[in-house]
Amino acid sequence: TLPPLRAERITASLADLRATATRDSLETVNAQIRSCTRCALCGPATQAVTGEGPRDAALMVVGEQPGDVEDRTGRPFVGPAGQLFDEIAAQAGLDRQATYVTNAVKHFKFQQRGKRRMHQAPNQGEVQHCKWWLEAEVALVKPKLILAMGGTALLALTGTKDGILKRRGQVEDTAYGPVLVTLHPSYLLRLPDASLRAAQTELFRADLAQAAQRA
Ligand code: URA
């Protein structure tokens, strides 16, 4: 097992990364992500899912963690939540192809129930360990704006997810640069009430439109 991460080690390595931010570095980081064993989530997961998109994207979208489909395919946001994101992004004028799409945590965390793999939210320690990679991605892509989708992304990028409902739609200044706060698209999928879902979808669309406009 790896020794615990220390803040000064992260900072030192990030400084190195910034200094050597060449075209190959994102590939190097992604190769390291694929063989990451920094926390226990790497055991049950099929594979790590790296970010995807142009290395000079003005907008970085950060989700929580790969879901079942992402874990099997190795690509971020391609399952139900990803499809909903794509649909609303298109309506909002946000071009996913021009965006770097990634997750706060790179391995799928789940509980096996019969044949089904039930999503489990990553804990603070897992988010903290995986932040190493998110920091490297931000340092290399250098986005103008980061869209934090949901509590886990918000926790990773700002240190707290408290008050997310009040914070959504706003841009916060962070160590990673400006972060626009929104909810996770899977939240929309879980809303049972149609009119509530329509209202929340409208807010989500407005957040994506704002992200597209600012980036
Ligand atoms: N949910 C996420 O947060 N990320 C994905 O890649 C898929 C679903």
**Interface predicted TM-score of the whole assembly (ipTM), two decimals:** 0.92
pLDDT score for 194:
97
How many A from CA of 100 to the centre of ligand 1? 13
Q: Is 132 helix (H, G, I), strand (E, B) or coil?
A: helix
| Of 75, 77, 147, 186, best ligand 1 pocket probe by most atoms within 8 Å of the beta carbon | 77
pLDDT score for 25:
83
How many A from CA of 8 to the centre of ligand 1? 30
How many A from CA of 81 to the centre of ligand 1? 7
The stretches in the chain having pLDDT less than 70 are 1-24
**Those residues with Cβ within 8 angstroms of residue 9's Cβ, 6 or more apart along the chain or in another chain:** none
How many A from CA of 64 to the centre of ligand 1? 6
How many A from CA of 106 to the centre of ligand 1? 9
**CA 5, 8, 14, 19 torsion: positive or negative?**
negative
Give the strand order in the sheet containing 177-182. 99-103, 59-63, 145-149, 177-182, 171-174
In a 13 Å sphere around the CA of 168, the CA atoms on its Cβ side amount to: 19
Burial 50-71 (b: 16+ CB within 10 A, else e): bbbbeeebbbbbbbbbbbbbbb
Q: Tell me which residues have their CB closer than 6 angstroms to ligand 1.
A: 63-67, 70, 76-77, 79, 81-82, 103, 186
**Phi and psi torsions of 103, nearest 5°:** -130, 155
**CA 194, 197, 199, 201 torsion: positive or negative?**
negative
pLDDT score for 16:
58
Identify any residues that bridge with 103 across adjacent strands, giving them in sequence order: 63
Q: Is 103 helix (H, G, I), strand (E, B) or coil?
A: strand
pLDDT digits 0-9 by tens, 181-200:
999 999 999 999 999 999 99
Q: Is 102 helix (H, G, I), strand (E, B) or coil?
A: strand
